[in-house]
Amino acid sequence: MPFNSPSANKTLLSGDIHLWRIQPQKITDLTVLKSLKSVLTQSEIEKVQRYRSPKAQHNALITRAFVRFVLSQYAEIKPQDWSFTISEHGKPELNNTTPALRFNLSHNDDLLVCSVCLGHDIGCDVENLSRRISVEAIAKRYFSAEEYQSLKDLAPALQRRRFFEYWTLKEAFVKATGLGISQGLDTFSFKITAPETGKLNSNISLSFSQKSPIKNEKDWYSCLTYPDQKHCVAVCINSGSKSKQFQLTHFQGEDCLPEFQVGRSSRINPAG
CATH number of the domain within which 228 lies: 3.90.470.20
Any domain includes 11: no
Supply the DSSP symbol for 258: G
Q: What percentage of residues in the chain have a pLDDT greater than 90?
A: 62
User: How many domains, the chain?
Assistant: 1
Whether 51 has a pLDDT exceeding 90, the answer reads: yes
Q: Which residue has the higher pLDDT, 99 or 154?
A: 154
SS3 label, residue 8: coil
SS3 label, residue 204: strand
Any domain includes 123: yes
Q: Does 79 sit behind a cis peptide bond, omega within 30 degrees of 0 on the bond before it? A: no
Flag the least confident range among 67-76, 87-96, 154-163, 174-183.
87-96
pLDDT band of 271, cuts 50, 70, 90: very low
Q: Residue 164: what are its φ and ψ, rounded to 5°?
A: -70, -30
Any domain includes 200: yes
Distance CA 56, CA 33 (A): 14
SS3 label, residue 42: helix
Q: Which residue has the higher pLDDT, 218 or 148?
A: 148
Whether 162 has a pLDDT exceeding 60, the answer reads: yes
pLDDT band of 6, cuts 50, 70, 90: low
Distance CA 173, CA 236 (A): 5
Any domain includes 10: no
Q: Which structural domain range is residue 156 located in?
A: 16-268
What's residue 71's pLDDT?
94
Any domain includes 149: yes
Distance CA 19, CA 237 (A): 13
Any domain includes 8: no
Angle of helix 156-177 versus helix 135-142 axis, rounded to 10 = 40
Whether 136 has a pLDDT exceeding 50, the answer reads: yes
Nearest to 151 by CA among 199, 112, 190, 93: 190
Mean pLDDT over 222-237 rounds to 94
Mean pLDDT over 211-234 rounds to 87
Supply the DSSP symbol for 229: S
What's residue 97's pLDDT?
67
Any domain includes 259: yes
Mean pLDDT over 40-49 rounds to 95
What's residue 7's pLDDT?
61
User: 33 and 27 in contact (C-beta within 8 Å)?
Assistant: yes
Burial of residue 110, with CB atoms counted within 10 A of its CB: 0-12 exposed, 13-18 middle, 19 or more buried: middle
Any domain includes 7: no
Mean pLDDT over 31-46 rounds to 94
Q: What is the pLDDT of residues 103-112, one digit of tens each?
A: 999 998 889 9
Left (φ > 0), alpha (ψ -120 to 50) or beta: where does 240 sit?
left
